[in-house]
């Protein structure tokens, strides 16, 4: 019997993934990572629901305390980024360094198992010609999470199973109901776990960053209003600026050094290109010449055509066919060839 370790958050997706594999004859071990204190889908009550699911399925359930890793790699990472005037994306970082890598290590070292599974909506295939594992979009494009998984290594992809990749959310809930899983009707998580735990990103950041009043200025340096911390703003933001103007204004820059929020019209928040750092080439080897692909600069943004130009030090330049609004430093840019994730990285600060 093949053994697989399934990451259980206590939600319907991971619960159904475990039930599917168990029904297929796998020897399933449920594993919940204790990430932080307080409420949130993957902690506290999530642990209770995960344990209940394991009891329902008749499989063992183990909990690993990984709070220190989460604090260093996610909480400290977010606080440092926001204080520097960028908007970090925690999910891809969390998937690689907090979830998948520790899960694979635990499975191999503690359970003698080489396979893990999660409830993510994505697919993995192996390309015999290139001898690489390829990351693909899920069938359900509304739930597809490949954008957040671009940073997974070949070793992690080789060890991972995504049972929900061929399903849509309706299928998942139907299967959960067929197995009488407690989580079949559990409400879906609507935001980041840190946001759910603290009520809002602002509330989370205010626990770590003290208010620091400064000026909201236009591109010429004219003071238009006041703010209480650059960490409360992000590129492209329009609402909540607290200033009156004849035309809509957007955040076009965050000057953390001088504690200024810079605003302007929509055209000034639009850029023809950007550079990306910490690039991971997922489904292909790093190219030596420019390639064409479709790029997403946010999770919910539409993929747009662009040229990807390789640079030194795991960086690329993205040149878009049409200028893009709200290219946000700290967020991920992920490029695709059809359904295949070619690579991705973190958008750098504009010079």
- Do residues 343 and 287 touch, judged by C-beta distance below 8 A? no
> Cα torsion at 201, 250, 146, 322 (round to 10°)?
-170
- Do residues 148 and 95 touch, judged by C-beta distance below 8 A? yes
* 94 a catalytic residue: yes
Q: What is the sign, positive or negative, of the torsion defined by CA atoms of 240, 245, 251, 257?
A: negative
Q: How many residues does the chain have?
A: 351
Burial per residue of 63-95, b for 16 or more beta-carbon CB atoms within 10 angstroms, e otherwise: eeebeebbeebbbebbbebbbbbbbbbbbbbbb
- Of 42, 43, 54, 193, which is the active-site residue? 193
- Of 43, 54, 94, 274, which is the active-site residue? 94
Full DSSP string of 243-290: ---SS--EEEEEETTTTEEEEE-GGGGEEEEEEEEEEEE-SSPPPSS-
- Do residues 332 and 88 touch, judged by C-beta distance below 8 A? no
Bridge partners (DSSP) listed for residue 309: 317
Residue 22: CB atoms within 10 Å: 20
CA distance 272 to 251: 17
* 42 a catalytic residue: no
**Residues carrying an active site annotation:** 94, 193
């Amino acid at each position: 019997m093949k053994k697989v370790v399934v990451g259980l958050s206590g939600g319907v997706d991971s619960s159904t993934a475990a039930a599917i594999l168990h029904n297929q004859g796998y020897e399933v071990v449920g594993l919940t990572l204790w990430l932080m204190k307080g409420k949130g889908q993957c902690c506290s009550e999530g642990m209770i629901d995960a344990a209940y699911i394991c009891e329902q399925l008749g499989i063992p359930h183990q909990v690993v305390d990984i709070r220190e890793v989460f604090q260093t790699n996610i909480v400290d990472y977010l606080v440092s980024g926001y204080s520097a005037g960028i908007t970090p994306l925690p999910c891809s970082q969390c998937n690689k360094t907090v979830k998948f890598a520790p899960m694979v290590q635990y499975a191999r070292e503690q359970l003698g198992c080489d396979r893990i599974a999660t409830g993510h909506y994505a697919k993995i295939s192996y390309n015999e010609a290139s001898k690489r594992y390829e990351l693909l979009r899920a069938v359900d494009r509304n739930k597809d999470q490949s954008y957040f998984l671009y940073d997974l290594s070949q070793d992690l992809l080789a060890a991972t199973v995504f049972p929900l990749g061929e399903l849509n959310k309706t299928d998942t809930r139907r299967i959960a109901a067929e197995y009488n899983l407690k989580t079949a009707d559990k409400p879906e998580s609507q935001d980041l776990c840190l946001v759910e735990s603290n009520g809002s990103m602002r509330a989370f950041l205010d626990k770590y960053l003290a208010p620091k009043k400064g000026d909201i200025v236009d591109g010429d340096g004219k003071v238009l209003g006041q703010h209480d911390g650059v960490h409360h703003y992000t590129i492209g933001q329009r609402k909540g600026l607290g200033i009156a103007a004849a035309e809509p204004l957007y955040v076009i820059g965050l000057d953390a050094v001088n504690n200024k929020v810079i605003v302007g019209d929509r055209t000034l928040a639009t850029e023809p290109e950007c550079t990306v750092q910490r690039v991971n080439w997922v489904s292909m080897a790093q190219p030596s010449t420019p390639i064409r692909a479709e790029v997403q600069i946010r999770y919910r943004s539409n993929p747009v055509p662009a040229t990807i130009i390789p640079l030194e030090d795991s960086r690329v330049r993205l040149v878009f066919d049409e200028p893009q609004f709200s290219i946000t430093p700290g967020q991920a840019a992920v490029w695709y060839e059809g359904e295949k994730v070619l690579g991705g990285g973190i958008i750098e600060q504009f010079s």
